Amino acid sequence: MATETLPFAPGVDEETDQSLDRAYLPLYRIIMWNDEVTTMEFVVRVLVNMFHKDYETAERLMFDIHHQGSAHVATMPLEQAEFKVEQVHTAASMEQFPFTCTIEPAS
């Protein structure tokens, strides 16, 4: 049996359709917490490399974490937020830091 290809539906943009689906996903905030062991340099490096913050923003967030005890560093859908938290915890454990971050609903 031959495979039949359906014609492209006018007015439907696959890229736009996917971004709209993403826009309706519930968002979660990633919170980084201060501790007395993790270096400031490590926190800045994580913010630059994993969260794609520019150096000045990363440094400001690091000082917020250090002085206030925690800071909101990103907002994203749950699955992405969980993955980022796992990446941070893995990087911290590889350098033997007890650094933690958590997620919470954005609303």
**pLDDT tens-digit readout, 46-98:** 999 999 999 999 999 999 999 999 999 999 999 999 999 999 999 999 999 99
Residue 20 domain-assigned?
no
pTM of the model: 0.76
Residue 2 domain-assigned?
no
pLDDT value for 24: 79
The number of distinct structural domains making up the chain is 1
Both tokens of 85, joined, read 């938290």
Task: For residues 6 and 99, give the distance between their C-alpha atoms in angstroms, rounded to a whole number.
Answer: 52
pLDDT-above-70 percentage for the chain:
79
State the average pLDDT for the chain. 87
Spell 49-59 as b/e; 16+ CB within 10 A means b. Answer: eebebeeeebb
Residue 7 domain-assigned?
no
Residue 15 domain-assigned?
no
Range of the domain at 68: 34-105
pLDDT value for 25: 86
